[in-house]
Amino acid sequence: MNAESDERKVVAATSAPGSATGDERTAERELGSRAPRYIRASRVLHLSWQVGIFVVGLAVVGAGIVMLPLPGPGWLVIFGGMAIWATEFVWAQLVLRWTRRKVTEAAQRALDPKVRRRNIILTTLGLLIVAVLVGIYVWKFGIVMPWKIDQ
């Protein structure tokens, strides 16, 4: 379970100096452990801290996986578990960074006018096909209520 939490790295962001985002986005958060300094000072305490974070994150991710087929916010809980892991493990920080970048790219693609127009056309076509199929079914079999009303 080598998390490389003792090695810290700083990854510079691609924002230009003096841009509208300001100084808060000039550098991304540094990679590595976010445990308190007194915990990182002791190797045994830090390893215990990492095991605890791993177990809690695993429980949250497991609950999210269970919620995928069951009612509940499955993906949201899974990403919450990954965020818990990211407080301590570099690999989880990198996964969350990659996920955030991909979600941002997907959102930008979804707002593209060509993609929106295509999605609207495909949705309209799908609804038209469903309406025709329902119309054929009603014409052939009629509307039958699941209960009988005696008057």
pLDDT higher than threshold 70 for residue 70:
yes
C-alpha–C-alpha distance, residues 138 and 145, integer Å: 12
| pLDDT of amino acid 36 | 74
Q: Which one has a higher pLDDT value, 120 or 39? A: 120
| pTM confidence score | 0.53
Instruction: Summarize pLDDT for 27-37 with one digit per residue, the tens.
Output: 466 777 777 77
Segment 73-110, tens digit of pLDDT: 888 999 899 889 988 888 888 988 898 899 899 888 88
